[in-house]
Amino acid sequence: MNEKDMVNDYLSALNGSLINYGSVISQCDNEQLRQTLQQIRNTDEQRQYNLYHYAKQKGYYQPAAPAQMQEVQHVKNQLNGQQPQ
């Protein structure tokens, strides 16, 4: 397995675990456990962000193109319950 595959595999695993943390934390009733899980999630979020930048710098990951302002406004309007103009 080459470096690109390893980085992308790890990045994918981190992304998946971050989704799971949100679900588990929101259902956690024990405050101490909740705080511990939040700390672990925060550490993994920083790890994911650092790895994302590394992958992008190396050319292993190509992010999607930024959304146009019109598209952003359209989504905001939809989320706010406004009709398209």
Digit-coded pLDDT (tens) for 24-73: 999 999 999 999 999 999 999 999 999 999 999 999 988 888 889 999 99
Residue 75 has pLDDT above 60, yes or no: yes
CA–CA separation, 30 and 36 (whole Å):
10
b/e sequence 7-22, b meaning 16+ C-beta within 10 Å: beeebeebeeeeeebe
Look at residue 26 and tell me if it is in a domain. Answer: yes
Look at residue 85 and tell me if it is in a domain. Answer: no
Cα angle, residue 21 at apex, residues 51 and 54 outer, rounded to 5°: 5
For residue 31, how many C-alpha atoms fall within 13 Å in the half-sphere facing its CB?
0
Neighbours of 71 (CB within 10 A): 10
Q: Which domain holds residue 66?
A: 3-79
In sequence order, the 6+-apart residues with CB closer than 8 A to the CB of 3 are 58, 60
Mean pLDDT across 19-28:
93
Look at residue 84 and tell me if it is in a domain. Answer: no
Residue 1 has pLDDT above 60, yes or no: yes
Q: Give the chain's domain count.
A: 1
Q: What is the chain's alpha carbon radius of gyration, rounded to the nearest angstrom?
A: 18
